[in-house]
């Protein structure tokens, strides 16, 4: 959710490249969520 909002191109490229591999998509979303949380609340 957050990843596709913040990095639509990167998310789409990753899914397309890996054929929709859940592992990489999960990592990407986790990293994006972490960065978002850090930037937003956890200074």
Q: Which pLDDT value is given to residue 1? A: 45
Q: Which pLDDT value is given to residue 22? A: 55
Q: What percent of the chain shows pLDDT beyond 90?
A: 0
Distance (Å, whole) CA 41 – CA 19: 34
Q: Which pLDDT value is given to residue 40? A: 78
Kindly give the residue spans of alpha helices, DSSP state H, lying in 1-43: 2-6, 8-17, 22-40
pLDDT over threshold 60, residue 39: yes
Instruction: Judge whether 32 and 10 are in contact, CB under 8 Å.
Output: no
What is the tally of structural domains in the chain?
A: 1
Give the H or E element holding residue 19: none
> What would the two tokens of residue 31 be?
């990293």
Which structural domain range is residue 24 located in?
2-40
Who wins on pLDDT, 4 or 22? 22
Q: How confident is the model at residue 33 (pLDDT cuts 50, 70, 90)?
A: confident
């Amino acid at each position: 959710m957050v990843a596709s909002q913040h990095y639509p191109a990167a998310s789409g490229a990753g899914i397309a490249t890996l054929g929709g591999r859940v592992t990489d998509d999960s990592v990407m979303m986790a990293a994006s969520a972490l960065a978002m949380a850090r930037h937003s609340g956890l200074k």
